[in-house]
Structure 1
């Protein structure tokens, strides 16, 4: 039986694991899409440090794939997906995606997403940015990806870090072409 196309969520070891948690929550709460989740080894370590008691989402629609194998269906363009979101995205991962390096599942899935002309959104977590980072961002953008540094909004009057991360996650999910409910500029909040 065919399943709905999935959304691939990649999580790297950059600080900002709360973004990944909210991306998955937004997809679970506002869509019916299956989620293919890939965490780098560094992501697992940073998750434990930053997230405390918040566990990696365990849900029937979430499939956790080992980053160390390329035998997953999401490593192939024949696997139907809506697109891929990397949250947070380290600049190391950005650079490897920009050069077409695909030696892990997360990198291969990003490479496949670009070659199949599907949406790829990278929530790059780094500041300040060097010229090397900017050139990698340019290369990914020219290849069809969207670079979305998680810059917090204030027009929505966030009351907490969770509010800020949730808003960013919803915006990133929308960049995949998925309609979600969120606060918008110029609308009452």
Structure 2
């Protein structure tokens, strides 16, 4: 399938808002449009964890990236008439980062109760990449079964587990080890983390 240069990103209320911010920062150079679905709980998490002074009304490229970018489309999770709700809207995949266990469960059961879960369901039925960056510990049996069911339906389960073989020296560098794996699973060349056994240029 030819690349469209479009990506859908969903941000849930799971802890780990920094993953969403770092991923968005590194994804922008690779896409001409990003459709960004952010839950109310995710906004609260960013306020609490990152000290960001944002609301639904002030959510923008400048607030998230630090600069203006016309390619970022901020979508309300209650808006079922947004493009990602339809299978006729072509894009290169969807990333839920971080993905809460509640959102995972609804996706695994085919419950489309907002734009985020509907867009994920569309990815599965249209056989488009769907990456769920799950953020929870420990997992209970329901969580594990939901992950299996989502994976069997076609999703990629990518836990927000940083790697340490490259000795990250900052929180951002540790987070970027997860971001790098997300980019790789979207088929994007990344230079954030060297491949194991390969010397960095």
Equivalent residue, structure 1, for 2:166: 156
**What are the superposed Cα offsets for residues 59-110 of structure 1, whole Å, 9 maximum, x if unpaired?**
2111100011101011001101100000000000000000011110011000
Equivalent residue, structure 1, for 2:147: 137
In 1, Cα distance between equivalents of 2:107 and 2:31: 28
TM-score by length of 1: 0.93
RMSD, aligned α-carbons: 1.6
In 2, Cα distance between equivalents of 1:177 and 1:113: 16
Length, aligned pairs only = 186
The reply to whether residue 188 of structure 1 matches residue 196 of structure 2 is: no
* Structure 1 segments unaligned to the other structure (5+ residues): none
* Structure 2 segments unaligned to the other structure (5+ residues): 54-62
- 1:64 maps to which of 58, 74, 86: 74
Shift of 1:177: 2.0
3-state DSSP of counterpart to 1:109: helix
**What are the superposed Cα offsets for residues 114-141 of structure 1, whole Å, 9 maximum, x if unpaired?**
1100010001001000010000000000
3-state DSSP of counterpart to 2:64: coil
- 2:134 maps to which of 100, 109, 124: 124
Preserved contact between residue 6 and residue 31 of structure 2 (Cα < 8 Å): no
Equivalent residue, structure 1, for 2:60: none
Shift of 1:39: 0.5
3-state DSSP of counterpart to 1:47: helix
Q: How does 1:91-110 map to 2 (within 5 A)?
A: 91-110=101-120
Shift of 1:41: 1.2
Shift of 1:33: 3.3
Q: How does 1:1-189 map to 2 (within 5 A)?
A: 4-29=4-29, 31-53=30-52, 55-57=63-65, 58-182=68-192, 183-189=194-200
